Amino acid sequence: MKHSHDFEKPILELQQKLTELKEQASSSTRPSAFKAKIRKLEKQLQETQKNIYSKLTAWQRIQVARHPLRPYTLDYIKRIFTNFIELHGDRRFSDDHAMVGGFAKLDDESVVVIGTQKGRDTRENIFRNFGSAHPEGYRKAIRLMKLADKFSLPIVTLIDTAGAFPGISSEERHIGEAIAVNLRDMFPLRVPILSAVIGEGGSGGALGIGIANRVLILENAYYSVISPEGCAAILWKDRTATPKAAEALKVTPKDLLELGVVDEIVDEPPGGAHGDHAGAALLLKNALVAHLAELKKLSHEELIAQRYKKFRILGRFIEIPDEDSMEEMKKTTLSP
């Protein structure tokens, strides 16, 4: 496995042993003699993958979400949807290649699918701007969403971005305004909106296409208001505190589900989506189809109300004072 992380080394070692054993079997005059050993090693590999990935820390899960071999938006579109016709441009400035979208079929359902797209190598990353969209990317996205609304087509968005592009060109063309308009204009859309965080869900860059009736997240993805590195630099003034920041930010799927930020965690194949693109796509497709079938039962008014309520209640909390604060409150209350 290329681009493996330190915690994946036991998996890599077993994969190498399995490959070597299969090569020996293929060149042997008695390949059947290796079957038992191969099955045993395959079982050991599956158990090791399951054990390691079930115990990942928040920071390790973020590293998996950023794995360069993970399937990206166009990889999922290719495997999940059919008849994809990409549409281009925001009709104001230009076409942003970090944001892709168009008409497609999800089984027999016509939809509009939109997502942020990263690159595999240096050339493609430059072309895709590393998956960080400019204002024209978000303006293209909302243009396609309004087109979907006009023709009563459900909207599916796939989120995988470290955040919107923060450069001078973005500021000159008003990135904050572009994202804010998307947040405002997605709420009154009369069609079902289904979002899935497939890798990185970075701040407003993710939320700009994430105002949905249902928000799904893959098992090894994350959704956060700021990167752990940025949080560590601000709060601890030390980037070595990144793992600590990742835990404090509550960005993992399990945390997000408990907080009500996402509606479902979509399982990934053993060892992560980067090891099995087809398997990951099938699991995501099944989840999208199931949720879309439920959302289609709702009226236009119910879709709008449900979407509004979902995001309106985010951020509510109950503050429980610590012991020192309680003692201080008692003194203040009892004092004449």
CATH number at residue 262: 3.90.226.10
pLDDT at 334: 53
Question: Per the domain annotation, does 308 fall within a domain?
Answer: yes
Same domain (yes/no): 117, 239: yes
Residue 319 lies in a domain: no
Give Cβ neighbours of residue 192 (< 8 Å, ≥ 6 apart). Answer: 154, 155, 213, 292, 295, 296, 298, 303
| Amino acid 35: pLDDT | 77
What domain range includes position 19? 6-55
The answer to whether residues 52 and 8 touch, using CB atoms and an 8 Å cutoff, is: yes
Residues 289 and 256 in one domain: yes
Tokens, residue 279: 């398997």
The rounded distance, in Å, linking the Cα atoms of 113 and 226 is: 26
Give SS3 for 89. Answer: coil
Lowest mean pLDDT of 167-171, 182-186, 301-305, 320-324, name the range. Answer: 320-324
- Whether residues 40 and 11 fall in one domain: yes
Position 263 in a domain: yes
Mean pLDDT over 132-142 rounds to 97
For residue 163, give the nearest of 123, 118, 210, 200 by alpha carbon.
200
Domain end among 39, 55, 71:
55
Domain endpoint, select from 55, 71, 87: 55
Q: Are residues 103 and 13 in the same domain?
A: no
Query: What's the pLDDT score for residue 53?
Result: 78
Residues 20 and 118 in one domain: no
**pTM beyond cutoff 0.75:** yes
- Return the higher-pLDDT residue of 46 and 331: 46
Whether residue 25 is predicted with pLDDT greater than 60 in this model: the reply is yes
Answer yes or no: is 292 within a domain. Answer: yes
